[in-house]
Structure 1
């Protein structure tokens, strides 16, 4: 009998709780949103992320758009909840499906930068564009930015300007800054410095603080000078540019003996449409191939501008699959290089670089070079075979460099990181005619390095892997 009474009492208590409902049911949705917002940002109260997340979870269960979006944002950053990109994406997708513009933009950002999801610029553009069509200034910036650079969508300055104008009218600083850059350089149009200054000033006014340097200190004057020199240079190198654009129709396969060696020439940086040359520089490239590994030293004078070590090849294109921890400290890295040859043995090298922090590509570059026969003449020192390091991979600080030379000379050896930093000077060594075995003792941490060998007419690079 007592058990029956106990069961009845428990049932009544449970029913009473169900009748009372959730403790937040008695508070209006508008007030709940205000409380959660204040708790999240510490407005008129102390910051309480757990309480804010608790309220947003309650609203999300009721399929409230703002609740789903805000909870999704908290899941991305792990604020008040355990970080979960899957939960964030699900909630943001639901909010975006209900027409929430901020959720669309956040999804666009996630796909643009690969934040917890696979990087997909096409999806990112679609998310931004949908938000832009609904009147979002951030959506206008995202879609305009990707269209401006041709990322995830065909590059088109006219469409980009249309989107950016719309966002700038809504006081988005990023939109105004890009428009200022567009008009200052005259991409696909005649430079309009009055418009450029207007948009730069609007960007500063709306919070894009660092652009103040573009409207002061005569920076626009320097852009004018750069534009003037660029127009005169265009006529001189336009034929090379046209050759580079149609090089696929006249190329031959790059072989080991055609690509390895020392090359000298010019590197041209283009605007995003590839129609206007913005910058021209002299450069030298020391290229070596070791089986499937390609290593390139990009030199400007005696300075190493960049080092590229590839571990993946598709046809005449080499790329790298990951960025090392050391390279993450740099502003940019080379992500891809492709080599093609015209019938006159001119080498055209397309170079793709990316921002290290976001992996976004930078302006396209094409290097037009000729083999530097002055440093590869048979009268000078040459390796009959490419220099080799034994053992490979190395497991301690001592290794041997095997070089076959055509005549006696001195060479200097240095070790570089894959990011181009010079790590060690291995000294100068005398090479006798024929085979040479040079022992090097340099303390190295585990990782991948480049051994540079430079001498009379000799510029060689060897990949080193330290386990």
Structure 2
């Protein structure tokens, strides 16, 4: 008879102990999140934080497992690894963590690091997750038709039922846009006019004229004018465009140093750069652009770091166009920017929407780097069409000396990712040298 009260007391004590442990774990994870958010990261402290979160994750804490994925994604206290980040997010999702499933959707939405960009998978994970930001992004995808048929009514309903400030602010803008578009559509109908806009509807494409084979220009010295184009994350839809200009000075030394000035809309910057093999690598490029939509009234612009531009020249119906593919970084978020293009001419020929559509279909460079510029870890990503002997090296740009042999050997066809982890590497410009059988690919990278 006396055992029941004792057992009940033990159960209460155990329950209180577990609750106290949960509270303690929550406070630890909150302090780690605050540490990450402040951004003043110390190498030794980051390693301690990573170890602490990893121990909590191994004890079965779902929130810690999700946070461990974030540490892998950002390379905090450990080697940068998107594959390990994805593994941790999957594990945390299996334990019922909504932020983890949202994080998986975000990886696929933007194709961060070596994760393939995939709207379909992003929609799947955002739909599964109960995290408010997953619903916020799901609404955006329905509104713009990313990975799903465009359904603005459904998008607005999701935002109305998602009770976070971000969705409230975005909803106000989109509802106002709907009213404006209804008025414009009524006017067009009355006047019998058809309003054509860039990327008006998913699945409606502009006629694409024939383009002569694009070539890498030997020089881009001079003044160029045209359009800057922001693409969606898949690189298949044109979102918006602004007037743009590019002025490049004469090469001043054997290393290809030039002075460059870029203007996009109302924002401009001047910086030293290196012109090499059709690529303009910019030392200190920064452009401020107004956001198309915002989910906070205090943050209406984004600062973009302009890292490099890969140029080709193509001809459409007798006109030579200079196409630049921009490698950018959203400095506010410390992540890559969406695909962006510069389409320019030297003779003042207006840029047609047909020309934009034609050049937007051209492919990206063989080597993809993340992040660029880098501080500690650098991911080198490429895809082999066939089995090949591959050698990857990190080289000093100015001296030409070999700094690090990344890999050398026979590799199978498919995607390959290599990581350079060298926090002690001196700041400067380096060359990623990838030799596939007898063919050599190079790309400049900046170490901060």
Taking structure 1 as the reference length, what is the TM-score of the superposition?
0.54
Structure 1 residues 132 and 76: CA distance shift in structure 2, 3 A = closer
Provide the residue aligned with 2:158 in structure 1: 199
Structure 1 residue 165 corresponds to structure 2 residue 127: yes
Provide the residue aligned with 2:323 in structure 1: 348
- The CA distance in 2 between the partners of 1:116 and 1:323, in whole Å, is 28
How far 1:71 moved relative to its partner?
A: 4.3
Matching residue within 357, 362, 370 for 2:332: 357
Provide the residue aligned with 1:456 in structure 2: none
Provide the residue aligned with 1:368 in structure 2: 343
Provide the residue aligned with 2:117 in structure 1: 155
Larger RCO (CA under 8 A, 6+ residues apart):
2
Q: Which has the larger radius of gyration?
A: 1
- The CA distance in 1 between the partners of 2:117 and 2:268, in whole Å, is 27
Structure 1 residue 184 corresponds to structure 2 residue 143: yes
Taking structure 2 as the reference length, what is the TM-score of the superposition?
0.56
CA contact (8 A) 1:185 1:223 kept: no
- The CA distance in 2 between the partners of 1:162 and 1:320, in whole Å, is 38
How far 1:286 moved relative to its partner?
A: 1.4
Structure 1 residues 338 and 173: CA distance shift in structure 2, 3 A = same
Provide the residue aligned with 1:106 in structure 2: 67
Provide the residue aligned with 2:52 in structure 1: 91
Structure 1 residues 181 and 97: CA distance shift in structure 2, 3 A = same
Matching residue within 261, 270, 293 for 2:257: 293
How far 1:196 moved relative to its partner?
A: 0.3
Structure 1 residues 313 and 31: CA distance shift in structure 2, 3 A = farther
CA contact (8 A) 1:113 1:359 kept: no
Give structure 2 stretches of 5+ with no counterpart: 1-11, 37-41, 186-194, 290-300, 350-448
State the superposition RMSD in angstroms: 4.0
Which has a greater percent of strand? 2
- Post-superposition Cα deviations, 1:259-317, rounded to whole Å, max 9, x if no partner, equal 1111112222211111211112222211234443344322257x4x2326365677433
Structure 1 residues 77 and 160: CA distance shift in structure 2, 3 A = closer
- The CA distance in 1 between the partners of 2:274 and 2:181, in whole Å, is 39
Which has a greater percent of helix? 1
How far 1:147 moved relative to its partner?
A: 0.3
Matching residue within 269, 282, 285 for 1:307: 269
Structure 1 residues 137 and 235: CA distance shift in structure 2, 3 A = closer
- The CA distance in 2 between the partners of 1:264 and 1:90, in whole Å, is 52
How far 1:133 moved relative to its partner?
A: 3.5
- The CA distance in 1 between the partners of 2:268 and 2:54, in whole Å, is 41
Question: SS of the residue aligned with 2:197?
Answer: helix
Provide the residue aligned with 2:87 in structure 1: 126
The number of aligned residues is 300
- The CA distance in 1 between the partners of 2:148 and 2:33, in whole Å, is 41
How far 1:200 moved relative to its partner?
A: 1.1
